[in-house]
Amino acid sequence: MVDTALQACHDNDLKTVQTMEISVGEATGLMPHYLEDYYPQCVKDTILEDSTLKVNYIPVTAKCDDCGAEYTPSRENEYRCPECDSIHSRMIHGREFVLDRLVGE
């Protein structure tokens, strides 16, 4: 992720970066506070050293293959669709780990 950000800085001709915003999905197992705590270590001695990490945490969302409903799967109902009780669904959000935006100049 840091390599991606550094490449983006280079591509955008950024000399300093104030904020780096990323999106992290719940299903990645990465906790935002953990990322924020370790960010300073990861970016030490790079152009990102004085920047702040902002994490947009994305909860898991599933889409039902049978009725098209979008819902938050829960263990209590065995991850079934709340609309039609189907067990066929796809995860449409929650696996994200992407660089959204670099704020700098």
Applying CB under 5 A, which residues contact Zn ion?
64, 66-67, 69, 81, 83-84, 86
For Zn ion, the closer of residues 48 and 64 by Cβ is 64
Taking the complex as a whole, how short is the minimal distance between the CB of residue 78 and Zn ion, in angstroms?
13
Smallest CA-to-CA distance from 70 within 58, 61, 78, 79 is with 61
Q: Which two tokens stand for residue 60?
A: 């898991």
Taking the complex as a whole, how short is the minimal distance between the CB of residue 72 and Zn ion, in angstroms?
13
> DSSP strand E in the chain: where?
17-25, 52-58, 61-64, 70-71, 89-93, 97-104
For Zn ion, the closer of residues 2 and 67 by Cβ is 67
Taking the complex as a whole, how short is the minimal distance between the CB of residue 86 and Zn ion, in angstroms?
4
